[in-house]
Every structure is written in structure tokens, then in C-alpha cells.
Amino acid sequence: MPTILGQNQYGKAENRVVKIVRDGDTHHIKDLNVSVALSGDMDDVHYSGSNANVLPTDTTKNTVFAFAKEHGIESAEQFGIHLARHFVSSQEPIHRARIRIEEYAWERIATSDANSKFIGADEVQHSFARKGMETRVSQITYDGENWEIISGLKDLTVMNSTNSEFWGYVKDKYTTLKEAYDRILATDVSARWRYNWTSDEQPMPNWEKSYEQARKHMLHAFAETYSLSLQQTLYQMGSRIINSRSEIDEIRFSLPNNHHFLVDLEPFGLKNDHEVYFAADRPYGLIEATVLRDGVEPKIPVDMTNL
């Protein structure tokens, strides 16, 4: 049967670039994992093998490293914007560029005095340890006219040790779960939010401040919500961000319910007054939803793993 070519893209994935800015004795690190995907007039390379319109993936890799030097890395979003604009504007066959970025955080190593006492205020200005927190993510897409910026984070582990309940749910003959009026609520937050900045004619957001504030509002909502369900907490987290950050129109969460079950200690003659839990890693409940500014159409894919 005759066949035709469908949607396609190509590029260089997972370019690990580390940029160090030396401000005298004080150094600053940006540590990124950058993936480039390009699409456009690529029929010939698929049908006949002609590479006339193909910018080599090795060139895209080199561009990532060159731009880290030429433009610096102010933020993951800004760096992705520089790259996407370059590929679309400098190569006529390329009509669309998608840049996906993961950013890994580092913190300075605190020093000790001669008596080996920890000095919280003193830090070695060129020594760092990888933070054991979340990974920041960004996807920057540009078609020569319009931008789409989706940012977020993954693997942010949070827990409330109280102020969470789960009861009043549907029960059938297979239901064995006991209602809980004081439980641990824990999850690994994966979140993506979409900015309403789409054109160079609009004022560009402060990407670093926006990320920090979105993360802050998310965590505050998680901590301050007396939760009757993880769904309720999710909605409060998204609403807090939308209501507090005018540059964000949509946020999608994927929240596994990291179950903690009270251990039965009665066989040992012990009372377990919400003190000892078994942390089950699987199976787990998975709660996913999008929170939108009123009147906005959703655009973030339901399956966020492809971002």
C-alpha cells in the first residue's frame, strides 16, 4: 500500500552542559541537560536520503555549548529561547524548534573553623554539593512567530505528617481499606506550567523569579491545606499558583500517593498511636489533573512524561 510521511523531528538529545561564571573568588554554576528537536522541510531526507536540508545533529550539539559561552545561561527558559530562535531564524528549512531542558541544582559547601565547629554563614565560594531536591524542567517551542514555554519540576518529595484524612468513599464487596481520620499525606510532585508569554511583542517574564515563586506557592499550599483527599490538595496547589502568578495560565500535576500504612504492633503487646508506619513504594494511587485560569483552553499534554 502507498505510504506517506507523518509528523517528524530530529536533533541531539541530552547535551550535558555545565557553565561556570567566575565572579572573582565566587563562582556560580548552571548545570543543564539540553535536548534539541527540529522539524520542517524534511521530506526528501526520509524519501530519498538527501541531506540537503539537514543541519547535522552534531552541529546542534556544538551550538548548545557555543551558546553557553556566547549568551551565558541566565535561566533554563532564556537559554532555550536563544537556541530555538537561532535554529528557526538561521536555517530556512527548519520551521519549528523544540528545546527541552532539565536543570540540576547545586549548593555551596559550608566550611568549618579550626575547632571543627560548623559555621552556617561561611561557605566555600567554589565548592558545591548537588542538592537532593527536585529537578527543574523546561520545554521551549518556537515556529518563527509564536512561542510556547512550559516549565516545571519533577521528583519534589513532600510530606504532611498530619492534617490529612480519607473517608466517605465508595465501598463495594472488594473494599478492605479502612477510613482514615489522621493519616500521612506524601507525594513526589511532578508539575508543568504554561506561560502566557507567546510573542516577542509581550514583556518577557523573569524566568528565575517566576520559577521560585511558583515553587513557593505550591509548597505553601501543600503545607497549609487541611486535606480530605490528595485531589483537593492538588487543586489548592494549582489554584495558589494561578492566582498568584499572572504570567502562568495552566498547570498540570501528576502526584503519586505515597502510601504510609500504620503497622500492627498488637502482636508484640505494643500500641501504635500513629507513630510507626510502613512506607509502601508500590502499588500507589496516581492523581493527575490540570488547573486552568478561567477561560483558558488546556494545552499541556495529559502525558507529561513526553515533555
Instruction: Please give the positions annotated as active site.
Output: 12, 57, 259
Q: Which triple of cell numbers denotes residue 208? A: 528565575
Phi-psi region of 144 (alpha: psi -120 to 50; beta: other; left: phi over 0): left
Residue 213, marked binder: no
Helix (H) or strand (E) holding 22: strand 15-23
Packing angle, helices 57-70 and 76-90, rounded to 10: 130
Residue 183, marked binder: yes
Grouping H, G, I as helix, E, B as strand and the rest as coil, residue 257 is strand
Residue 58, marked binder: yes
Residue 261, marked binder: no
Share in percent of the chain as helix, strand, coil (round to 5):
25, 40, 40
**DSSP letter string over 124-182?**
EEEEEEE-SSPEEEEEEEE-SS-EEEEEEEEEEEEEESSSB-B-S----TT--PPPBSS
Residue 155, marked binder: no
Residues 6+ apart with CB under 8 A from 50: 44
Residue 231, marked binder: yes
Q: Which triple of cell numbers denotes residue 183? A: 493519616
Q: In angstroms, what CA-CA distances link 133 with 97, 122, 224, 239, 278? A: 29, 22, 20, 23, 23
Length of the chain: 307
CB atoms within 10 A of CB 213: 16
Q: Annotated binding site for 5-hydroxyisourate, which residues?
A: 57, 166, 183, 231, 257
Q: Annotated binding site, which residues?
A: 57-58, 166, 183, 231, 257
Q: Annotated binding site for urate, which residues?
A: 57-58, 166, 183, 231, 257
